[in-house]
Amino acid sequence: MKPGPIILMILLPLLGVWLIMNRPSPLGDVALRDGARTFHLRIANSRGLVEVVEEDDGSHTFRILMGPSEASPILNDYAFQSLFGRTLYQRVTGGEGSWLFELLNITSWSSLIWVAIGFGGQAVFMSRFLIQWIISEKKRESVIPTIFWWISLAGAVCLFVYFVWRRDIVGVLGQSTGVVIYARNLRLIHKQRRRALRAAAREHAPSESGDP
C-alpha cells in the first residue's frame, strides 16, 4: 500500500481537531476581561459561555455570554451558585475538564457517555471495512459477508442515537437512511437463505421418497 493514503488518514483527523480548537469565537463584540477563562454553557436550547475571573482575594466573578453583544451583569460566587448550582460552580472555578470539554463540545462529565456512544459507533462502523477486506483476501475475491451488514447496522444505530442527542439534523438524516438500508439487506439475505433451504429440501424429496 502506498504511504500517501495512510498519511492523509492521519493528517485529516488532526486538521479537524485543530479547526475545532481554533474555531472563531462566538462572542462577537464582547471582549473578555483580563485573566478570564471561559467554559461552555447550555441553557435550555441555547449555548453560550461562562466567563470566570479569579479576584485577588480568592473569590470569583462571572459573566454569562450567550452571543454577540449579549453579556450578563457581573455575578459574584453566591449569585452564580444560586443560579446554576454548586456542581457547575465547582467545575468552572476549578478548571475541571476545561480543555476536554472544549475539544468534545460538551458541558458536563455525564455527556461523556453520549460521546462514548458516538465514538463507539464510529469505531464499529469503520471496522466493517477491515473485516470485509480480510475476508475478501482470504477468498481471493471481493465479497461482502453478512457480518458486514450486521456491523453496519450496529454502528449506524449508535451514530443515529448520538446525532439525535447532538441535535445534528445532517447526521440524523444520514444515519437514518443507512439503518433502513442495512436492515433491509439483512432481511433479503434471510429470505434468500430460506428459499435456498426450501429448494434444497424439494430437490432431495424425490430421491428420499423413492428409496426402498
Q: Which residues contact 11 (CB under 8 A, 6 or more apart)?
A: none
Contact 84, 72 (CB under 8 A): no
User: Model confidence over 29-63: pLDDT tens digits?
Assistant: 677 888 888 877 777 667 788 889 989 888 999 99
pLDDT for 77 beyond 90: yes
Tally Cβ neighbours within 10 Å of residue 59: 12
Q: What is the pLDDT of residue 69?
A: 66
State what percent of residues in the chain have pLDDT above 90: 22
Mean pLDDT on 62-73: 82
Mean pLDDT on 14-23: 72
User: Model confidence over 117-141: pLDDT tens digits?
Assistant: 999 999 998 898 888 888 988 888 8
Q: Please provide residue 51's backbone torsions phi and psi, each rounded to the nearest 5 degrees.
A: -95, 125
Q: Which residues contact 54 (CB under 8 A, 6 or more apart)?
A: 35, 60, 93
